[in-house]
Structure 1
């Protein structure tokens, strides 16, 4: 039988096959590439996560299991989206920035009285600023420590700071 007359089927699933919601089935004749099948699935439902392929019983590869999985957004894409959402939420608010520089102990790894390893000390600076963007905060940390000399920073809303236990003045 000619390959163009063979009828194939693909089941679109939200989740993994058999463990979540079946969206619909797609039927076609002849060959189709994985990219073409994914493009058709995207047109039918952008929510699909798995495609279960079933070849025509007359196809020489009939009986083999074929599945296509939508690649989940990478951690970088998710982090970028979270950062953007956080920037929008913090815009215009005053925040305390706790900027840290990790300083490795020249004596190497130490063990404290409870037996826990201690391998680094921190040099910190804390300042208050109106939040514009994470990039702006990074530039201010550069101004306090020098460009590339700090390792991380944490943000605290002005109202979220604890009451100081002591002051000097």
Structure 2
């Protein structure tokens, strides 16, 4: 009888440990660099700008792209998605990024644009006001692969619509851009 208790105890320990590791991965944000608080070029725009950086193969990124597509569809902004890869159109996330309506998809083969913005994690979004000031930076999902409404997406939407102007930052959940 005691071997059954020991086996059950071992099974429960493995189960709890595995669930802990999955949760830790799911809700641990990726790294972020020094964020550019000002649009890197002279600002000549009358509408806000939304910029997103994606890893070409990150399994979490399709969710971020769908949230980004919903964000730019309901807000009037200029949107650009940078895929940190040489041939972005030949990658799963490159193809998905190219299909986001109202967004221009550009390659960032060496990651230099991502470095200039301070993006280090796939799914990192930057929103700049028409005068070039950063009003939002971070993630628009509340965990890896979590699609739909969440505080980061609400904050980004409020900044794009102009109902909130105070800069805000949220954690980014995804793969590192430079692997």
TM more than 0.5: no
Q: Which of the pair is proportionally richer in strand?
A: 1
Task: Please identify the structure whose Cα radius of gyration is greater.
Answer: 1
Q: TM-score, normalised by structure 1?
A: 0.20
| Structure with bigger RCO (C-alpha 8 Å, 6+ apart) | 2
Q: TM-score, normalised by structure 2?
A: 0.19
Q: Which of the pair is proportionally richer in helix?
A: 2
